[in-house]
Structure 1
Amino acid sequence: MLRFVVVRGVLAWGIGTAVIFTAIQFLQHHEVGALDVARNIGTFMIAGIFWGFSVWWLRGRKQRKSRNDL
């Protein structure tokens, strides 16, 4: 579980979403500094913990349900 949350949630979703969010801010002509980039990455990495855990829990729930249906 921990590996899934860190790799899929924090690194993949968190950093990926932070990069996209920062790019959107930049493309909308907002002034984006180093502090903004660091804050975006930190915020989305923390959110990635919750996202990763939620996906892991929902996936396990779906697998348990499919086993019980057999």
Structure 2
Amino acid sequence: MKDKSGSDQTPLIERNPWLFIVVYGVLFWGVTTAVLYSALMSFLFDDSMWDIFSYSIIVFPIGGFAWGGAMLWWYKTNQKKKS
């Protein structure tokens, strides 16, 4: 769908679902959560941030992949209900 200026206004989740999962799930949710979790745990428990970050950067993006997939499923379910 194009607006008056000619730009495409179709949501990313409809144009490319895998890109949505990678960008919003893995990068935005997974990496951001890994950094925040590592900083918080190192502050609260006086552990090395890099030790915590080394496994957080693996585990949380996997969770972000699941989060992105859940958001994709939720979006598609709501689109079916609307039509």
What is the TM-score normalised by the length of structure 2? 0.73
Superposed CA RMSD in Å reads: 1.2
Give % identity: 31
SS at match of 1:19: helix
* Greater RCO, CA 8 A, separation 6+: 1
TM-score (norm 1): 0.85
What stretches of structure 1 of length at least 5 have no aligned partner? none
The aligned counterpart of 2:29 is: 13
Residues 16 and 33 (structure 1), Cα distance of their counterparts in 2 relative to 1, 3 Å cut:
closer
List 4+ stretches of structure 1 deviating above 4 A: none
Q: May I ask how many residue pairs the two structures share in their alignment?
A: 67
**Structure 2: tracts of 5 or more residues without a match:** 1-16
Task: Give the 3 Å change call, closer, same or farther, for CA 43–9 of structure 1 in structure 2.
Answer: same
CA distance in 1, matches of 2:67, 2:30: 9
Structure with bigger helix share is 1
When Rg is computed on C-alpha atoms for both structures, the one with the higher figure is: 2
